[in-house]
């Protein structure tokens, strides 16, 4: 068994709606390998759904996507990015006007505060460039590990973790990959069982899987592709 797929001790006795307890204990790494392989087959070209033209716009789009769908963000950003073309435009933006510009993404006051403060910091501290390291990017207002992972991975190919959004949070627990609800703890569990070479794509494959097959609303989980694939392990 590949060491990259070994389950940490606190996960080996968990149960989930997808896999019963006896399969957790017996399958371990084979089960995780099946999840990764199935997702790769279903979504060989998984990538971020947000639209942007540069690293700063990526950071803005990801911040706007908090508690908002990518579809909605992509409806707002074309107009936003046309109005605020340069980093300097955000640094001089009127907060009340900016709130109106992003109102439909939700939590617009807090997002405005963070984005405009981030613009100031990127200009003054990081010489106009979005930081390239986890340590530095986490100092930017409104940036936690999820945003940091998305930005670093897509902007620079820097993969220091696994981005945990609402889809990843829900499905990781459903699939028995974690018992936690805290994104930081979920990320830690995922990093312990998913091979590092898969970390970047795993987020987007799980997001696509949640959208295409295993939606949040009530449905028959027995028909979801991962459920079928994992059920097949019980007969081995």
The domains of the chain are located at: 3-46+162-235, 55-156
What gap in Å lies between CA 199 and CA 155, rounded to an integer?
A: 15
HEC readout, 68-111: CCHHHHHHHHHHHHHHCCCHHHHHCCCHHHHHHHCHHHCCHHHH
Does the structure show a pLDDT above 80 at 4?
A: no
Reported as a single tens digit per residue, the pLDDT across 19-74 is: 444 334 334 688 899 999 999 999 999 899 999 999 999 999 999 999 999 999 99
- The pTM for the full model equals 0.86
The answer regarding whether domain 3-46+162-235 maps to CATH 1.10.1670.10 reads yes
pLDDT of residue 217: 85
pLDDT, mean of residues 134-144: 98
- What number of other Cβ atoms are within 10 A of residue 192's Cβ? 16
Q: Do domains 3-46+162-235 and 55-156 have the same CATH topology?
A: no
Beta carbons of 105 and 111 less than 8 angstroms apart? yes
Residues, the chain: 236
Reported as a single tens digit per residue, the pLDDT across 165-217 is: 999 999 999 998 999 999 999 999 999 999 999 999 999 999 999 999 998 88
Q: What is the DSSP string of 114-169?
A: HHHHHHHHHHHTSTTS--SSHHHHTTSTT--HHHHHHHHHHHH---SS----HHHH
Bigger pLDDT: 50 or 229? Answer: 50
Does the structure show a pLDDT above 50 at 7?
A: no
pLDDT of residue 55: 98
Where does residue 31 rank: exposed (0-12), middle (13-18), buried (19+ CB within 10 A)? buried
pLDDT of residue 3: 32
pLDDT of residue 5: 41
Reported as a single tens digit per residue, the pLDDT across 108-127 is: 999 999 999 999 999 999 99
Architecture of domain 55-156: Orthogonal Bundle (1.10)
What gap in Å lies between CA 111 and CA 100, rounded to an integer?
A: 11
């Amino acid at each position: 068994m590949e060491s990259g797929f070994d389950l940490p001790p606190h996960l080996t006795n968990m149960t989930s709606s997808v896999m019963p307890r006896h399969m957790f204990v017996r399958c371990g790494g084979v089960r995780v390998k099946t999840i990764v392989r199935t997702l790769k087959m279903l979504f060989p070209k998984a990538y971020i759904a947000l639209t942007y033209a540069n690293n700063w716009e990526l950071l803005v789009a990801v911040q706007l996507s908090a508690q908002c769908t990518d579809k909605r963000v992509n409806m707002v950003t074309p107009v936003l990015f046309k109005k605020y073309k340069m980093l300097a435009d955000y640094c001089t933006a009127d907060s009340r006007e900016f709130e109106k510009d992003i109102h439909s993404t939700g939590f617009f006051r807090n997002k405005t505060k963070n984005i405009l403060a981030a613009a100031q910091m990127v200009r003054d501290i990081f010489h106009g460039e979005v930081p390239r390291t986890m340590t530095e990017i986490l100092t930017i207002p409104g940036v936690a590990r999820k945003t940091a992972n998305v930005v670093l991975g897509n902007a620079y190919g820097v993969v220091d973790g696994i981005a945990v959004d609402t889809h990843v949070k829900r499905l990781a627990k459903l699939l028995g990959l974690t018992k936690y609800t805290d994104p930081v703890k979920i990320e830690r569990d995922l990093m312990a069982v998913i091979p590092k070479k898969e970390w970047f794509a795993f987020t987007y494959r799980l997001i696509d899987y949640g959208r295409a097959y295993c939606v949040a609303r009530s449905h028959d989980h027995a028909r979801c592709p991962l459920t079928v694939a994992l059920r097949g392990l019980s007969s081995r």
